[in-house]
Amino acid sequence: MGAIEVTAVDPVLVEARLRGIQSITDATLSRLDDRELLTELLERTREVLQADTAAVLLLDFSSGQLIATAAAGLEEEVRQGVRIPVGRGFAGRIAAEHRPVVLDRVDHTTVLNPILWAKGIHSMMGVPMVAGGRVIGVLHVGSLTPRRFSGDDVELLQLAAHRAAAAVQSMTAQADRAVVAALQRSLVPSALPVVAGAEMAARYIPGSGAVGGDWYDVFTLPSGQVCVTVGDVAGSGLAAAVIMGRMRSALRAYALETADPAEVLGRLDRKMQHFEPDALATVLYAVIEPELDQMHVAVAGHFPPVIAYPGQQPAEVADVRIGVLIGIAPDTRRPVTTVPIPPGALLCFYTDGLVERPGEVIDEGLGRLCRAVTAQPAEAACAAVTGALVGSEPARDDIALLMFRRHARGERDAGV
């Protein structure tokens, strides 16, 4: 970047520059909501730098393109949804090289976007918008008259880009949180199926950080079998939640096609590796026989269920064989373990957030869970486990928890 010139200090210029910096970093900007802040910031940037146009292009990570998102004096760029591939053209170069670019003369060899030269923009400068160490977009200004942007101009623009990046980050996080929460609500079953001879209860507890990709699901098959899924998509936020939604519905579809739980996970894995090659997930899928006396479990890297027997303490980690996670190895067949379910027994399915604690061996968490799970009514068991393992401290990771209890002999179904 251009060095700051310390010679020939013109007090009037310094004063103007300071006012410029103040205008861009002004605290009153923070009172605006993020979208207004971005628009206002572009207006001020244009003013301070005495430029004719100012625009923000944000990087769409899935397509690798910069998308015109906000503009001042260049509104058509946003309205027409201009897209610039990273690495190409003026803005694309800034994003690819992570550094400011100044163009003294705009023409078709330096600028990809025809709107800019059609508009008659003569000179431009742009800087990367960086958040969390990576480029999230580009901020550029343009002048309709010939002009040489200075190193000071670049620094001022970088300051504005910094502010804009923070606003965009906050905007994205807010939107993501709202969408993810809505998605989670729509995907986690609001009512569990009613199964004669058994009862179920479940919890989804969002983490204190971003909402994650944990889920549980219970459904019955035409055969009368009861299927239970619990899973965890690696990562967090909207991306993980969307993948979770796709996995959940794909798994339901494959469950209708085959009764073999390993085959269901195999098909799910094939689908994921083809359509979501970067996704990684743990899934446990159990098929409980219509008689409710046993379940067949296939596991893709997920923690095993805990089973509590009536009159016996503590509960045990079910001895199930663990197969490979979803998303790693093509054409993997996972082992299927059959677990007997005696009358009155309670099965506890969960995700890692329930048992993992920083710096603690996983067996301690599993031991704590085994002591908390008892063969009692499912709803009470859920409450006991969340009370003992979640308590009042906010969980860092999200948690999915599902209890399935086979009724004891002679026990009647509770009226629902």
Partner 1 sequence: MSEVRFPVEMVSGVPVVVTPEEIDITNAAGLRAALLEAAGRGPGRLVVDMSRTVFCDTAGIHALVEAHKRAGAGGGEVRLVITGPAVLRIFAITGLDSVIPYYASLEDALTATSRSADGT
Mind spelling out the 3-state secondary structure of 182-217? HHHHHHCCCCCCCCCCEEEEEEEECCCCCCEEEEEE
Q: Does 1 bind partner 1 (CB under 8 A)?
A: no
Expressed in percent and rounded to 5, the helix, strand and coil fractions of the chain are 35, 25, 35
- Single residue of 13, 329, 388, 414 touching partner 1 by CB under 8 A: 329
**Segment lying near partner 1 (by CB under 8 A), choices 79-87, 141-149, 340-348, 357-365:** 357-365
Q: Which is nearer to partner 1, 16 or 329 (CB)?
A: 329
Cα angle for residues 395, 399, 403 (degrees, 5° grid): 130
> Please, are residues 300 and 265 in contact by the beta-carbon 8 Å criterion?
yes
Name which of residues 221 to 280 contact partner 1 (CB under 8 A).
232, 234-235, 280
CB of 307 to partner 1, least distance (A): 16
- Single residue of 340, 359, 391, 415 touching partner 1 by CB under 8 A: 359
Q: Which is nearer to partner 1, 27 or 361 (CB)?
A: 361
Q: Does 356 bind partner 1 (CB under 8 A)?
A: yes
> Pairing between strand 336-340 and 294-300?
antiparallel
> Please, are residues 71 and 53 in contact by the beta-carbon 8 Å criterion?
yes
Q: Does 306 bind partner 1 (CB under 8 A)?
A: no
> Please, are residues 43 and 72 in contact by the beta-carbon 8 Å criterion?
yes
Q: Does 325 bind partner 1 (CB under 8 A)?
A: yes
CB of 282 to partner 1, least distance (A): 7
- CA 326 to CA 269: how far, in whole Å? 5
Q: Does 58 bind partner 1 (CB under 8 A)?
A: no
- CA 88 to CA 230: how far, in whole Å? 44
Q: Does 133 bind partner 1 (CB under 8 A)?
A: yes
- CA 158 to CA 218: how far, in whole Å? 52
CB of 300 to partner 1, least distance (A): 7
Q: How many residues interact with partner 1 (rule CB under 8 A)?
A: 32
Q: Does 153 bind partner 1 (CB under 8 A)?
A: no
- Single residue of 171, 188, 250, 324 touching partner 1 by CB under 8 A: 324
Q: Which is nearer to partner 1, 72 or 400 (CB)?
A: 400
The token duo for 87 is: 């690495």
- CA 279 to CA 409: how far, in whole Å? 44
> Please, are residues 61 and 239 in contact by the beta-carbon 8 Å criterion?
no
Q: Which is nearer to partner 1, 266 or 304 (CB)?
A: 304
CB of 185 to partner 1, least distance (A): 24
Binding site for partner 1 (CB under 8 A): 132-133, 209, 232, 234-235, 280, 282, 299-304, 322-325, 327-329, 332, 352, 356, 358-363, 396-397
